[in-house]
Amino acid sequence: MVKYCELFYSFFKIGTFTIGGGYAMIPLMEQEIVDRRGWLSREEFLNQLALSQSMPGVLAVNMATGLGYRLRGLRGAFSAIAGNIVMPVLFIITLAMLFRHFRDNPYVERFFMGVRPAVVALIAAPVFRLAQSAKVTWATCWIPILAALLIWLFDVSPILVILAAVVLGFVYGRMKKQ
């Protein structure tokens, strides 16, 4: 049984060390929950990711809620959420108090200039790993590619893409059965 404090600690680490928002958190969550702790299978993780993206709200908090609940019920969900946001909130409050003093510090600026491309690479790298566990094959690789292109090049809202997938998945399943 997963302990509440372990859940809190895992999400605490994830929340504290992710710069660049929810998508940057995905690889850390995957590594911590699936690889290091072995709490969920990669497929369960992907199911939760799909669900989190289909619902309103902050992606990382949605993930913490769903994963926490799957592991330890309601209290698990709250442990994960608390762990996930406590440092960011404290950090921002401190920063809001001090911001004007070190906004222009050159070392802070240089640190982040180095970090920004790394964040993009961290988001890009798990795409291939996740594709494997989503059972994307040569025959089906057009699905994620089409979804990415629709959003990136044609500014289609991700909500629409998700809704279309829900409807098509349902219809395709029904047709296959007959």
* Contact set for other proteins, span 5-64 (CB under 8 A): 13, 15-23, 25-28, 31, 35, 43, 46-62
Say how far apart CA 67 and CA 79 lie, in whole Å. Answer: 11
81 in contact with other proteins (CB under 8 A)? yes
Say how far apart CA 124 and CA 26 lie, in whole Å. Answer: 11
Specify the DSSP class assigned to residue 20. S
Q: Which residue in the set 101, 139, 173, 178 belongs to the binding site for other proteins (CB under 8 A)?
A: 173
153 SS3 class: coil
Min. distance of Cβ 135 from other proteins in angstroms? Answer: 8
Q: Restricting to residues 110-149, which ones interact with other proteins according to CB under 8 A?
A: 110-131, 133-136, 140, 143-148
Give the count of beta carbons closer than 10 Å to the beta carbon of residue 69: 16
Specify the DSSP class assigned to residue 125. T
Q: Restricting to residues 148-167, which ones interact with other proteins according to CB under 8 A?
A: 148, 151-152, 157-159, 161-162, 165-166
